[in-house]
Structures are given as structure tokens and as C-alpha cells.
Amino acid sequence: MSGAETEETAGVGDSLLSSESRHLNVHNKIRKKAMDLLMRREHAVAELQKKLEARDYDATIVAEVVAQLMDEELVSDARFTEAFVRYRGNNGHGPQRIRSELRERGVSEKIQAAYLDVEDSQWFERAAQVRSKRFGNALPEDFKERARQARFLQYRGFTSEQIREVLDDV
């Protein structure tokens, strides 16, 4: 073997090593950023992936990191959904709006159904609480006021059945 062939072969090995090294560095950088995001709050898997890809990281490495975090149970759609439903519900939002926001964050319908029961009686109680906090306990005086309160509750994400019951009970 000549000296030129040995140098060529060594150059290929060095470039492979440096390529693997760069991949590992990028992987670690993406993982650190993902962990920073997860320390602040729970994220849905798709939401986390979208945030990382928005930073112009390599999509294949991002997918690799997110899959690894899922395997380690550091990111979970179920855990995110449970916390999100509780938080948004406590802030006066109804099931329809919460479902829409979960869909935007890439949470599957199956997981949504497991943690968000639209028929649960708690939503009627929450709708009543939200209405009385905003408008007081008095009955709407006329159709215009009733419609205004109904629009407010609809915007908050309560169903028409929940709204009708709250406005009829007042």
C-alpha cells in the first residue's frame, strides 16, 4: 500500500468519525432544549416535535430525540392531556374548546376521550360558575341579555345543552 492510499483511507475514517461526532453533538443539543421545554411544563409529543423543528434542527434527529424521550416516558400525550384538561377546566373553559386546543396540539381522539368526558356533570357546574362569575346570579332580563350570556359561554367552549341548562336554571 502506498502512502497516498493510507492517507485517503485515514481521511474517510476521520470524516466518518467527525460526522458521527457532529450527529451526537446535535442530538445532545436538541435533547437539552427538549428537556428545557419539558421542565417548564408538560408538552404533547407533536407539540414538542413542532417546537424543536421550528428551531431549524434536523427533522430526523428531532424525531429520534422525541422517540427516545417517549421511550423514557419523559414526554407523554396522556399525562399532558390529563394536566391540560384540569388546568383549562379550572380556568373556566368548556369541553369543546379544550378538545379543539388538544386537537391543535396533536393529541389523538382516543386519548382525548379518555380524559375529557363532555357528558360529565362537572361541565354543567363549571358553566354555571363561569356564568355567575361574569354576570352575577341574576336571571337574564331579556332575550338580548340571554343571547349575550349564551355567546359568552359558547366562546368559552360549553355545549349548547350545557348553556341551555345553565340559563334555564338561573
pLDDT for position 4: 46
If pLDDT is split at 50, 70 and 90, which confidence band does 13 have? low
Give the tens place of pLDDT for each residue, 112-165: 999 999 889 999 999 999 999 999 988 898 999 999 999 999 999 999 999 999
Choose from 13-22, 99-108, 138-147 the range with maximum mean pLDDT: 99-108
pTM: 0.80
- Give the pLDDT confidence score for residue 18 in this predicted structure: 79
Does residue 99 surpass a pLDDT of 90? yes
Which position has the higher pLDDT, 14 or 30? 30
Q: For residue 17, what pLDDT is reported?
A: 59
Confidence of residue 20 (pLDDT cuts 50, 70, 90): confident
Residue by residue, what is the 3-state secondary structure of the chain? CCHHHHHHHHHHHHHHHHHHHHHHHHHHHHHHHHHHHHHHCCCCHHHHHHHHHCCCCCHHHHHHHHHHHHHCCCCCHHHHHHHHHHHHHHCCCCHHHHHHHHHHCCCCHHHHHHHCCCCCCHHHHHHHHHHHHHHCCCCCCCHHHHHHHHHHHHHHCCCHHHHHHHHHHC
CATH number belonging to domain 3-75: 1.10.10.10
- Where are the domains positioned within the chain? 3-75, 79-169
How far apart, in whole angstroms, are the C-alpha atoms of residue 140 and residue 59? 54
pLDDT band at 15 (very low <50, low <70, confident <90, very high): low
Reported as a single tens digit per residue, the pLDDT across 29-73 is 999 999 999 999 999 999 999 999 999 888 999 999 999 999 999
